[in-house]
Chains A and B, each alone.
Chain A
Amino acid sequence: MGLNGKPLVTIIGAGMSKFGKRDGLLAREIFAEAAKEAFNSCPKLDPKRDIKAMFIGQMGESYEHQGHTGATIADWAGLTGVAATRTESACASSGAALRSGIYAAMSGLADVVLVGGVEKMTHRTTAEVTEYLAMASDYPFEQWNGITFPGLYAMMATAHMNKYGTTEQHMAAVAVKNHYHGSLNPKAHLQKEITLQVAMNSRYIAWPLKLYDCSLITDGASCIILTRPELACKYSDLPVHIVGSGQATDTIGLYQRQSLTSLNATKLAAKTAYEIANVKPEDINIAEVHDCFTFAELMAYEDLDFCPVGESGKLVESGETRLGGRIPVNTSGGLKAKGHPVGATGTAQAYEVYLQLTSQAGKRQVKDAEVGLTHNVGGSGATAAVHIYRRDL
């Protein structure tokens, strides 16, 4: 790609609301909480003067009967006037916002860009949320036949179990690990450890996926502030560089894909990101991957080349992806325990990596982490965005 690891853009500030059940608040109000933290994290920035563009990920307008999210969020973040656009790529909406922000900053059209995402979900019933989430899958064949989101990932899990011998216990091990990490994150939706037995004994949502294999229905918002690398020192003493970015698509219908046991969009996005960053999978110190279901984290290990194909179950059982292991994955608690306010997830992953690479991650800090990766998936894998980050040395 010719970029050879040079920073594409630099993160100069980051914010995330408390994730959880935020009764009585609208999405815009939750976003204001994340925006204020990001502004505070970058005291040399004058947000109203300096921020020239915003990209805001949000999956659905059905939750609050509110579209036109770009302007709404800019308004409530105190930034009316700025060019603000909603990016929608299902659960990868803010991964796509991040990618769009990189385009904007690198183009020179906007020196400072705020990218973020938000979703307010918990005021809706589980049936309503199930229906809204399913809108990110193919309507005429998948939704039409009653195939839900857990159903789509369950079908991938069934195929993987059949082909490689992956077990329900392997999936439960992801849940146990991510709930442990979540117990160390004061902003996580659930901050309680669970046992393998609790995960294994939970009820089936879509066989072989059980309640504890599913991420949480959560309210939350997140954002990061980007600038061109040469401008970063003007604004921040804690810069983190984005050195790789890849985004890719696959067929909207799971049924039309070549493989049911891997996500080709992830593989394509990762290949681009690794190449631009001039980084190999073994160079990654920490990763936030898209564990919308525990099985999705296992598949991500393989698609991101953290382990050979078919060996993700072994990897999680080895403890290598737990805090203290070779490559801690989802130190934030992941979508599983931190929560999954869909539109907010992509930049919430970037927020965690920003904290880790600037040594602000508190009890879950990974010592000496230098290179981080985020992996954000939309729907059943029709979109994936992968970003690679490097500490300023």
Chain B
Amino acid sequence: MEPFSIEQFYKFLQQDKLMAGKCLKCGKIHLPPRPLCDSCLSQEFEWVNISGKGKLLTYTIINVAPEQFQALTPYAVGIIQLEDGLKIPGMINGLTKEKLKIGIELTLDFGTCSTTQQWPQWPRYCFKPSTI
């Protein structure tokens, strides 16, 4: 089985799959997956598929960024609550400042890996407004 690692999480993401590690002993779901359950210290997990739909818990709009992100400023980032209480941070695209509100529904957009650097070669995901 694939290792329960962040690297593997991003490999799945590149295949348009949002995957988490579920502890076989205590049932806690880890996003990102981790090799040691922080609840019961077990090392036994299974992969579970997570829906990319969630609610915005909090957000900000970044105006001053490190060099590699400067061309994107101002950009919105937030923390999104998915199912099972799982949370993940990410950029939020496609919304003006006026439309950003705690509680709005967002959907994960699986990104692509366009990096030329040796490490890490992780895809860039983001969140977009949910369309019903």
Where the two chains meet, the residues of A that have a C-beta atom closer than 8 Å to any C-beta of B are: 126-128, 130-131, 134, 140-142, 144-148, 150-151, 154-156, 158-159, 162, 203-209, 253-256, 260
Task: Identify which of B64, B69, B87 contacts A126 (C-beta below 8 A).
Answer: B64
- Scoring B residues 31 to 50 as 1 if CB is less than 8 Å from chain A, else 0, what string do you get? 01000000000000000000
* CB-based contact A127/B67 at 8 Å: yes
* Bound CA span A213–B55, Å: 28
Within 8 A of A (CB), among B49-78: 57-70, 72, 75, 77-78
Given contacts A127-B67, A141-B89, A145-B126, 6 further A-B contacts (CB under 8 A): A130-B65, A140-B120, A140-B122, A154-B60, A155-B77, A208-B60
Contact residues, B83-132 vs A (CB, 8 A): 87-91, 97, 102, 120, 122, 124, 126
CB distance from A35 to the nearest CB of B (A): 33
- A140 with B63: in contact, given A159-B57, A253-B89 (CB under 8 Å)? no
Nearest A residue to B126 via CB reads A145
Q: Which of B59, B69, B89, B122 has the most CB of A within 10 A?
A: B89
Q: Are A158 and B60 in contact (CB under 8 A)?
A: yes
**B78 and A155 contacting across the interface, CB-CB below 8 Å:** yes
* A-B pairs with beta carbons under 8 Å apart, 17 shown: A131-B66, A140-B10, A145-B91, A145-B124, A146-B66, A146-B69, A146-B75, A147-B89, A148-B62, A148-B64, A155-B79, A203-B63, A206-B61, A207-B60, A208-B60, A255-B88, A256-B87
**In the complex with contacts A154-B60, A159-B102, A260-B79 CB distance below 8 A:** yes
Chain A minimum-CB-distance residue to B92? A145
* Chain B positions within 8 Å of A156 at CB level: 58
Return chain A residues, CB-CB under 8 Å to B63: 203-207
Tell me the interface secondary structure of chain A in the complex: helix
Number of interface residues of B (CB under 8 A): 33
Q: List B contacts of A127 (CB < 8 A).
A: 65-67, 70
- In the complex, what residues of A have CB within 8 A of residue B6's CB? 140
Given contacts A204-B61, A260-B79, contact A148 B88 (CB under 8 A): no
In the bound complex, CA of A156 to CA of B77 (Å) = 12
A158/B102 in contact, CB under 8 A: yes
- How far apart are the CA atoms of A207 and B126 in the complex, in Å? 19
CA of A145 to CA of B68 in the docked complex: distance in angstroms? Answer: 11
Contacts A131-B66, A148-B65, A254-B79 given: A142-B58 contact, CB under 8 Å?
Answer: no
In-complex Cβ contact of B61 among A130, A207, A255 (8 A): A207
A145-B89 CB under 8 A given contacts A126-B64, A155-B78, A159-B58:
yes
Q: Given contacts A155-B79, A159-B102, A254-B79, are A142 and B62 in contact (CB under 8 A)? A: no
- 9 A-B pairs with least C-beta separation: A154-B60, A131-B66, A146-B69, A159-B58, A207-B61, A255-B89, A155-B58, A127-B67, A255-B79
What residues on A are CB-neighbors of B102 within 8 Å?
Answer: 158-159, 162
